[in-house]
Structure 1
Amino acid sequence: MPETMTALFGGTGPDWTVRQVPVPQPGYEFAGEVAAVGDGVDTPAVGDRVMGTTPESFAQFVLADHRHMVTIPAGLGYEDASALPTGLLTEHGAMMTGGFRVGQSLLITGATSSIGLIGVQIAKALGARQVIATTRSAGKRELLEGAGADVVVVTSEQNLTEAVLDATGGDGVDLVLDHVAGQTFADCLPATHVDGVVVNIGRLDKAESTIDIDALSYRHLRVFGVSFGFTRAAELGAVLSAAADQVGTAVSEGHVRALVDSTYSLEDAAPAAARLRSHQAHGKIVLTVP
Structure 2
Amino acid sequence: MKAAQFSRFGGPEVLEIVNLPEPHAGPGEVRVRVRAAGVNASDWKKRSGQMDEGLPQTLGYEAAGVVDEIGDGVEGTRLGDAVVGMGGGGAAQAEYAVLSTWVPIPDSLDFVGAAALPSTVETAARALDQLGVARDVTILINGASGSIGSAAVQFAVARGARVIGTASPATHDYLRSLGAEPVAYGEGMVERVRAIAPEGVDSALDVAGSGVLPELIDLAGGAENVVTIADVAGARQYGVHFSSGGDGRADYAIALATRLIDEGRFRIPVGKTFPLDDIAEAHRAGESNVVRGKLVLTVG
Task: In structure 2, list runs of 5 or more residues that go unmatched.
Answer: 1-30, 49-56
**What is the rounded CA distance, in whole Å, between the counterparts of 1:271 and 1:226 in structure 2?**
28
Alignment of structure 1 residues 168-183 onto 2, 5 Å: 168=197, 170-181=198-209, 183=211
* Higher RCO, Cα 8 Å, sep 6+: 1
User: What is the CA distance between 1:108 and its match in structure 2?
Assistant: 0.5
The CA distance in 2 between the partners of 1:96 and 1:210, in whole Å, is 21
Whole-Å Cα distance in 1 between the matches of residues 256 and 47 of structure 2? 35
CA distance in 1, matches of 2:219, 2:165: 13
**8 A Cα contact 1:9 1:287, kept in partner:** yes
Measure how far apart 1:26 and its partner are.
0.1
Q: CA RMSD in A?
A: 2.9
Distance 1:62 1:282 in 2: 27
Identity of aligned residues (%): 32
Describe the shift of the 1:172–1:26 C-alpha distance in structure 2 as closer, same or farther (beyond 3 A): same
In the other structure, the counterpart of 2:145 is 112
Post-superposition offset of 1:13: 2.9
- Structure 1, 173-182 or 46-55: larger mean CA deviation: 173-182
Aligned length: 260
By how many angstroms is 1:196 displaced?
8.2
* Matched ranges for 1:234-273 at <5 A: 235-236=248-249, 239-241=250-252, 243-244=253-254, 246-273=256-283
Render the CA deviation track for 1:197-217: whole Å, top value 9, x for unaligned: 322332288555347xxxxxx
CA–CA separation in structure 1 for the residues paired with 2:274 and 2:81: 24
Could you tell me which residue of structure 1 aligns to residue 177 of structure 2?
146
TM-score by structure 2 length?
Answer: 0.75
How do 1:1-290 and structure 2 match up within 5 A? 7-16=35-44, 19=47, 25-54=58-87, 55-65=90-100, 68-128=101-161, 130-135=162-167, 137-150=168-181, 152-160=182-190, 162-168=191-197, 170-181=198-209, 183-192=211-220, 197-203=225-231, 206-210=234-238, 224-229=241-246, 235-236=248-249, 239-241=250-252, 243-244=253-254, 246-290=256-300
1:120-141 deviation line (CA, Å, top 9, x unaligned): 122222322x211112x33333
Helix, strand or coil: the match of 2:160? coil
Q: Does the 8 A contact of 2:32 with 2:69 survive in 1? A: no
d(CA) in 2 for partners of 1:226 and 1:78? 28
Q: Which amino acid aligns with 1:84?
A: L
- CA distance in 1: counterparts of 2:171 and 2:259, whole angstroms: 27
Partner of 1:75, secondary structure, is coil
How many Å apart are 1:250 and its aligned residue?
1.3
Unaligned runs of 5+ in 1: 212-222
Separation of aligned partners in 2, 1:118 and 1:132: 14
For residues 46-90 of structure 1, what are the alpha-carbon distances to aligned partners after superposition, in whole Å with 9 as ceiling and x for unaligned? 33322112321111110232xx22233441221111011111111
Q: Which has the higher strand share?
A: 2
Structure 1 position 102, deviation (Å): 1.6
Contact 1:110 1:178 survives alignment (8 Å): yes
Contact 1:182 / 1:209 at 8 angstroms: preserved in 2? no
In structure 2, what is the Cα distance between the partners aligned to 1:14 and 1:246? 23
Q: How far apart are the structure 1 equivalents of 2:37 and 2:170? A: 29
Secondary structure at the residue paired with 1:100? coil
C-alpha distance after superposition, 1:149-191 (max 9, x if no partner): 22x222224232x2222211x2211222222457412211221
Whole-Å separation in 1 of the counterparts to 2:173 and 2:223: 32
1:56 maps to a residue whose letter is A
2:138, 2:202 within 8 Å by CA — same for their partners in 1? Answer: yes
Residues 1:44 and 1:174: Cα distance change in structure 2 (over 3 Å): farther
